[in-house]
């Protein structure tokens, strides 16, 4: 047994599904899964039902999270075709603005360049009044985070450049995309990006084995795309899970009648750290690469507060197989089931209190804080 101590991880991209899809996940089950994965802060996406697109809905979501979360939670607002930038009055209470311009789950996809101009312009105007958030301050707004694949990526880079808005690219998966982002960074464009464990450790070669368990957006990419992410690791600011729980029945696994439109997405909160530590064991990463991308950079990109007296203890000698049965997510499955990994989260301490130990969540619901809600 060899225990190391790391800071609590930040997962800057999760879908905790509340309100509207609580049977897939809720703030209690999702944040319990986070602690089990060594994650003490999550940033929750707005594609719930209803979506987090207005001040009232953000306030409602914050109340729900405050009552149930066992780790800290930041909340994104989202732009919609129908409500546009209705979130603007409470932009400072969100960790950032999420805009979807590519195929996704839910109703948040933006269809027109005209609306995209408006969304970037109004965010820039808000930032001109309140600034961009630094170091967890109450004041200021976060970046615009986009789900922008393929040809939509240069569209977002151009808008970010035009309106001088910091842009974060969610879940980069292709060689063409990471090469473009890297070139943009080298020319001084204010852009950051993230990659998920499933895009780093799985490819189209795994699809025959995984079937619907390997379906997400962006889709799994080719082995050459995966190789490109590793080649350009320096350009990847953040590792984030895109934890996107759906039930196996919804994905058409183990049911007689295949669903017409199985929802894309895979759970990831509980498997990210063991997979990354296995990459350290295999010599692909070092521990600093993990801390930089799962703690320091998410804080810098989103201006998140530090979590004092907060750490995780990991047994890096523990070798075991990931299983569905051990998971706390309501979805109850992982595309990595059966994989041997190195590194087990033994204990999680949040603000001085042991909130997780030896497989059990010890925190009371409501122990987590919701970021940026004022008071």
- Residue keyed to tokens 């950079």: 297
Tokens (6 digits) for 159: 């808008």
Please name the residues in contact with 105: beta carbons below 8 A apart, sequence gap of 6 or more.
15, 47, 217, 244, 246, 263, 264, 265
Q: 211-245 burial, b if ≥16 CB within 10 A, otherwise e?
A: ebbbbbbbebbeeebbebbeebeebbbbbbbbbbb
**Size (the chain), residues:** 375
Q: Is 50 in the site for ligand DOR (CB under 6 A)?
A: no
Beta-ladder partners of 146: 99, 169
Name which of 105 and 356 has its Cβ closer to ligand DOR: 105
SS3 content of the chain, % helix, strand, coil (to 5): 35, 20, 45
Going by C-alpha positions, the residue among 220, 181, 213 that lies closest to residue 199 is 220
Name which of 216 and 235 has its Cβ closer to ligand DOR: 216
Q: Is 47 in the site for ligand DOR (CB under 6 A)?
A: yes
Q: Is 21 in the site for ligand DOR (CB under 6 A)?
A: no
Q: Residue from 147, 199, 213, 342 that binds ligand DOR (CB under 6 A)?
A: 147
Q: Residue from 57, 182, 217, 367 that binds ligand DOR (CB under 6 A)?
A: 217
Which x/- pattern, by CB under 6 A, does the window 94-123 give for ligand DOR?
----------xx------------------
Q: Which listed range, 186-194, 242-250, 295-303, 328-336, lies at the site for Zn ion (CB under 5 A)?
A: 242-250
Min separation Cβ 50 and ligand DOR, Å: 14
Interacting partner of 264 out of ligand DOR, Zn ion, none (Cβ under 5 to 8 A depending on kind): ligand DOR
Instruction: State how far the Cα of 255 lies from the Cα of 250, in Å rounded to an integer.
Output: 9
Sign of the CA dihedral 359, 364, 365, 366?
negative
Q: Residue from 177, 225, 242, 315 that binds Zn ion (CB under 5 A)?
A: 242
Min separation Cβ 246 and ligand DOR, Å: 6
Name which of 244 and 363 has its Cβ closer to ligand DOR: 244
Number of residues that bind Zn ion (CB under 5 A): 1
Q: Under the rule (CB under 6 A), what is the footprint of ligand DOR?
A: 15, 47, 104-105, 147, 216-217, 244, 263-265
């Amino acid at each position: 047994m060899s225990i190391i101590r790391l800071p609590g991880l930040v997962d800057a991209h999760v879908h905790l599904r509340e309100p509207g899809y609580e049977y897939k996940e809720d703030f209690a089950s999702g944040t319990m899964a986070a602690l089990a994965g060594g994650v003490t802060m999550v940033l929750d996406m707005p594609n719930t039902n209803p979506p987090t697109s207005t001040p009232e809905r953000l306030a409602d979501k914050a109340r729900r999270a405050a009552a149930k979360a066992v780790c800290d939670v930041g909340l994104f607002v989202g732009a919609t075709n129908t409500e546009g930038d209705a979130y603007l009055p409470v932009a400072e209470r969100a960790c950032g603005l999420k805009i979807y311009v590519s195929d996704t789950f839910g109703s948040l996809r933006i269809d027109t360049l005209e609306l995209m101009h408006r969304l970037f312009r109004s965010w820039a105007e808000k930032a001109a009044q309140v600034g961009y958030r630094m170091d967890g301050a109450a004041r200021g707004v976060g970046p615009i985070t986009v789900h922008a694949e393929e040809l939509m990526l240069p569209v977002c880079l151009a808008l970010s450049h035009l309106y001088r808005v910091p842009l974060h690219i969610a879940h980069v998966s292709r060689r063409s995309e990471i090469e473009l982002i890297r070139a943009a960074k080298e020319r001084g464009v204010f852009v950051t990006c993230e990659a998920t464990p499933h895009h780093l450790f799985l490819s189209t070669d795994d699809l025959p084995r995984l079937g619907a368990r390997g379906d997400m957006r962006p889709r799994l990419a080719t082995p050459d795309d995966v190789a490109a992410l590793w080649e350009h690791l320096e350009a990847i600011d953040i590792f984030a899970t895109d934890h996107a729980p759906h039930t196996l029945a919804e994905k058409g696994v183990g049911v007689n009648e295949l669903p017409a439109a199985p929802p894309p997405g895979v759970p990831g909160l509980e498997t990210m750290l063991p997979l990354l530590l296995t990459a350290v064991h295999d010599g692909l990463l070092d521990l600093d690469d993990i801390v930089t991308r799962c703690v320091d950079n998410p804080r810098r990109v989103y201006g998140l507060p530090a979590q004092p007296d907060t750490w995780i203890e990991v047994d890096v000698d523990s070798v075991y197989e990931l299983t569905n049965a051990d998971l706390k997510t309501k979805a109850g499955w992982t595309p990595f089931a059966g994989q041997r990994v190195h590194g087990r989260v033994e204990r999680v301490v949040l603000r001085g209190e042991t909130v997780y130990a030896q497989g059990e969540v010890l925190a009371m619901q409501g122990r987590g804080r919701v970021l940026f809600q004022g008071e």
